Amino acid sequence: MGLITCHIATIPAREQSLRQVLNAIIPQADKVYVSLNGYQVYPDWLRTKHNVECEILDNSLTDAAKWRHVNDESGICVILDDDLIVAHNFVNYMISGLEKYGGAVSLHGKTYDNRPIAHYRRNFTGNYRCLGNVVNDVRVDVMGTGCTAFSNVQVKLDNSVYEYPDMADVLFSRFMVNNNLPMTVLKHKAGQYLRYIPQTDTIWRRTTNDRIQTEILNSFIK
């Protein structure tokens, strides 16, 4: 199986939530990579984390920064948003899903049935939320990458996932479909594996114009 690494991209406004996120995930990973988007200096408290590797970035990659180190070590990569606190058995549950389905697994994703898609943000027919109840495992067209796991031995990401900022989900999903790799949302109950730290500024709220995402989606969903 190799090492278990976790990959997080964050911004200064999320520092307090990042503390909680790291405290929950560190015991479940061999190493945690944190991309400090827009930071000027390393927070002192991060230096005390024994298996956390941080780097300061200019935030030009935004959410795509979380892919920067996924190929550094062979093994399981867990991608985690900086506002999601995981349960103690989160990583084991995700690995069990990978062993069953391969590709990538998540607790969040969407399906689209009416094609071509008019609007990426509005025209999904299935919405499987990481913070809600999902009663069965389900294959999805677009994966929510904020609570995702994959083996980098099977999923070898390339530079296509960096094409646009703030579009990690649809770019990752395009890569998976173009490489014939499955994406599966695992069943779960609300609050079973994740707890959300409420935020006022999120990528979903500020990227209301979905023209580019829709074009990308229609390029790989047939």
Q: What pLDDT is stored for residue 198 in this prediction?
A: 86
What is the Cα 182 distance to its own chain's centre?
15
In 11-158, beta strands by DSSP E: 31-37, 52-57, 75-80, 84-86, 104-106, 109-111, 126-128, 138-139, 142-143, 147-151
Q: Which residues of the chain have pLDDT under 70?
A: 200-208
pLDDT for position 189: 98
Bridge-based pairing of strands 52-57 and 104-106 is unpaired
pTM beyond 0.85, yes or no? yes
- CATH of residue 181: 3.90.550.10
Parent domain of 67: 3-220
Give pLDDT, residue 23: 97
* pLDDT given at position 206: 62
Q: What pLDDT is stored for residue 217 in this prediction?
A: 97
CA atoms within 13 A on the CB side of 151: 16
